[in-house]
């Protein structure tokens, strides 16, 4: 029922090579602009905000936690990977194959950049925090914002200037690495252990290499919409709605196969830096930001120990039937991930054909809105209705990929169309997914993941 892997790879590699040849500005003919339900008016794009995680807790005096955070970062600057390893929580250590793999990863993670130092912000305490990589919940956690003093080397700057387009964060990483939250767990009154290293962690923002080596990883990305038991009236509603019992059955099957949910940061760590992945990795994605994403999907994921990515239509947050900003913030602290799905759920290909400026606004303002409300870097995107990767030309697809990259998006998922379970480092804006149809039975779901 799916296209062959070889054919899928060839199509994606064609698009990847076209990016080198095509200019950012393509003279394309005009077409209509499709708007999802109602047009959302907004002002000109504001500047990218300073990223600052605000988990809704009161500042507190945690000098020992801040001291441990500083010690971890000092050892990183000194390339003392053994010392860094000793400060990690034992459960975090188990996410790595061994200490040597951990050291090798950090030796290559920031190649092409100079790190002069760091600054620590005001520490806060949280009653609990969930590690999105393991979905393990920790109590009595300290959060310390860390700003990394980082800049590209002269060689990286010169090489980036030769390319038609690059992620702007490659040239200005100091903005991306501002006030990244570092989480620590209390051992006793005088000892803390690192749960998440902030800017020095697998979950830190991704800086894509300028010339990635072609590398495949086998990671099925499952695509859901509604998770609901509400009655459905049309064929479209039925296809988009997975009952709660069926999602529970899906998660039970994944657990029986010893599958582990991973984050998109883990995916790109593996694609770009040979970062570790657990056995049978899978990513569970949920489109459109409905309120049942919070009431049903999030609840079931937490109960079963899985994380999920939720793609949000920012112009509809808080509307009837849609999740609120407070709910999204709670999901974020509960181990979930958040990505952009435009402001209005537009066909971004047709929007681009009608107005380059409007397409940029849909992509740029949605990212900015998520960053302002959730106080995290937003680097992931999902194409509404899969366009232009279902019906658009190769030239249009290349133009949209170029635009996404120029606005700071690192990865983008498609809507089948083309599908598969292998993700490639050369086509980060064409990550393949497997659609989960609400009319399908459990056997169909099992067959869609050929492990």
When pLDDT is averaged across residues 76-102 and rounded to a whole number, the result is 97
pLDDT digits (tens, 9 = 90+) for 434-449: 999 999 999 999 999 9
Integer Cα distance of 207 and 133 in angstroms: 19
Using left for φ > 0, alpha for ψ between -120 and 50, and beta otherwise, residue 160 falls in alpha
Integer Cα distance of 164 and 169 in angstroms: 15
* Strand, coil or helix: 374: helix
Q: What is the pTM of this model?
A: 0.86
Integer Cα distance of 312 and 316 in angstroms: 8
**Intra-chain end-to-end CA distance of the chain, in Å:** 16
Close Cβ partners of 104 (under 8 Å, ≥ 6 residues apart): 274
Close Cβ partners of 123 (under 8 Å, ≥ 6 residues apart): 59, 60, 61, 62, 65, 66, 69, 142, 143, 144
Integer Cα distance of 253 and 445 in angstroms: 9
Integer Cα distance of 18 and 316 in angstroms: 34
Q: Counting beta carbons within 10 angstroms of the beta carbon of residue 317, is it exposed (0 to 12), middle (13 to 18) or buried (19 or more)?
A: middle
Question: What is the pLDDT at residue 21?
Answer: 43
pLDDT digits (tens, 9 = 90+) for 407-434: 999 999 999 888 899 999 999 999 999 9
Q: Which of 321, 280, 278, 289 is nearest to 224 (CA)?
A: 289
What is the number of other CB atoms lying within 10 angstroms of the CB of residue 136?
16
Q: What is the DSSP string of 32-60?
A: ----SSS-----SPPPPPPP----S--B-
What domains can be seen in the chain, in order of their start residue?
A: 61-196 (3.10.450), 216-448 (3.20.20.370)
When pLDDT is averaged across residues 365-387 and rounded to a whole number, the result is 97
pLDDT digits (tens, 9 = 90+) for 262-318: 999 999 999 999 999 999 999 999 999 999 999 999 999 999 999 999 999 999 999
pLDDT digits (tens, 9 = 90+) for 26-73: 333 333 333 333 333 333 333 333 333 344 444 455 688 999 999 999
pLDDT digits (tens, 9 = 90+) for 132-186: 999 999 999 999 999 999 999 999 999 998 887 899 999 999 999 999 999 999 9
Question: What is the pLDDT at residue 12?
Answer: 56
* Strand, coil or helix: 173: helix
| pLDDT grade for 451, boundaries at 50, 70 and 90 | confident
Integer Cα distance of 157 and 110 in angstroms: 14
Residues 265 and 307: beta-carbon distance below 8 Å: no
| Alpha-carbon distances, residue 153 vs 160, 173, 177, 200 (angstroms) | 11, 11, 16, 18
Q: What is the DSSP string of 90-125?
A: HHHHTTSS-HHHHHHHHHHTTTTEEEEEEEE---EE
Close Cβ partners of 316 (under 8 Å, ≥ 6 residues apart): 37, 40, 289, 322, 344, 345
Residues 170 and 152: beta-carbon distance below 8 Å: yes
Give me the chain's average pLDDT, please: 88
Give the rounded distance of the alpha carbon of 283 from its chain centre.
10
Q: What is the DSSP string of 217-235?
A: EE--EEEE-EE--S---SH
CA torsion through residues 260, 135, 109, 77, sign: negative
User: Of how many residues is the chain composed?
Assistant: 451
Given the structure tokens 């602290």, which residue do they identify?
333
Query: What share of the chain in percent tops pLDDT 70?
Result: 86
Residues 121 and 147: beta-carbon distance below 8 Å: yes
Integer Cα distance of 273 and 193 in angstroms: 25
Question: What is the pLDDT at residue 366?
Answer: 98
Question: What is the pLDDT at residue 20?
Answer: 39
Given the structure tokens 């635009």, which residue do they identify?
403
Question: What is the pLDDT at residue 418?
Answer: 82
| pLDDT grade for 189, boundaries at 50, 70 and 90 | confident
* Strand, coil or helix: 409: coil
| Alpha-carbon distances, residue 273 vs 106, 173, 270 (angstroms) | 9, 17, 6
216-218 and 422-424 strand pairing: antiparallel
Question: What is the pLDDT at residue 8?
Answer: 52
* Strand, coil or helix: 216: strand
Question: What is the pLDDT at residue 30?
Answer: 36
* Structure token pair of residue 277: 């992945």
pLDDT digits (tens, 9 = 90+) for 377-416: 999 999 999 999 999 999 999 999 999 999 999 999 999 8
Question: What is the pLDDT at residue 165?
Answer: 85
Helix (DSSP H) and strand (DSSP E) numbers for the chain: 18, 17
* Structure token pair of residue 88: 């990690």
Integer Cα distance of 35 and 344 in angstroms: 6
* Structure token pair of residue 221: 């990305």
């Amino acid at each position: 029922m799916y296209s062959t892997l070889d054919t899928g790879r060839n199509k994606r590699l064609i698009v990847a090579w076209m990016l080198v040849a095509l200019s950012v500005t393509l003279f394309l003919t005009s077409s209509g602009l499709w708007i999802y339900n109602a047009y959302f008016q907004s002002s000109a794009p504001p500047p990218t905000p300073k990223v600052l995680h605000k988990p809704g807790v009161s500042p507190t005096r945690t000098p020992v936690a801040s001291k441990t955070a500083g010690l971890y970062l000092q050892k990183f600057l000194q390339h003392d990977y053994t010392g860094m390893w000793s400060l990690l929580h034992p459960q975090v250590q188990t996410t790595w194959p061994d200490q040597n793999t951990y050291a090798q990863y950090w030796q290559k993670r920031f190649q092409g950049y100079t790190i002069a130092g760091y600054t620590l912000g005001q520490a806060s305490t949280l009653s609990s925090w969930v590690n999105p990589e393991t979905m393990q919940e920790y109590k009595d956690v300290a959060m310390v914002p860390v700003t990394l003093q980082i800049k590209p080397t002269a060689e990286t700057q010169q090489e980036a200037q030769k390319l038609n387009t690059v992620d702007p964060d490659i040239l200005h990483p100091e903005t991306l690495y501002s006030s990244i939250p570092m989480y620590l767990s209390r051992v006793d009154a005088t000892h803390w252990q690192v749960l998440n290293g902030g800017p020095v962690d697998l979950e830190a923002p991704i800086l894509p290499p300028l010339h990635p080596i072609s590398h495949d990883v086998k990671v099925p990305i499952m695509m859901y919409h509604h998770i609901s038991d509400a009655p459905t009236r049309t064929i479209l509603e039925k296809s988009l709605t997975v009952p709660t019992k069926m999602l529970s059955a899906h998660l039970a099957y994944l657990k029986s196969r010893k599958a582990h949910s991973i984050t998109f940061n883990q995916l790109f760590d593996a694609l770009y830096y040979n970062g570790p992945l657990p056995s049978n990795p899978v990513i569970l994605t949920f489109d459109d930001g409905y309120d049942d994403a919070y009431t049903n999907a999030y609840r079931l994921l937490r109960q079963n120990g899985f994380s999920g990515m939720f793609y949000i239509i920012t112009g509809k947050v808080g509307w009837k039937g849609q999740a609120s900003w407070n709910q999204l913030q709670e999901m974020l602290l509960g181990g979930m991930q958040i990505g952009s799905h435009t402001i209005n759920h537009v066909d971004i290909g047709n929007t681009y054909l009608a107005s380059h400026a409007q397409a940029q606004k849909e992509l740029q303002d949605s990212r900015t809105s998520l960053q302002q409300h959730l106080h995290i870097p937003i680097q992931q995107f999902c194409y509404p209705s899969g366009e232009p990767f279902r019906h658009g030309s190769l030239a249009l697809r290349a133009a949209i990929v170029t635009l996404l990259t120029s606005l700071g998006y690192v990865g983008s998922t498609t809507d089948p169309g083309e599908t598969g379970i292998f993700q490639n480092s050369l086509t980060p804006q064409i990550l393949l997914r497997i659609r989960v149809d609400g009319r399908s039975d459990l056997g169909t779901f099992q067959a869609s993941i050929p492990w």
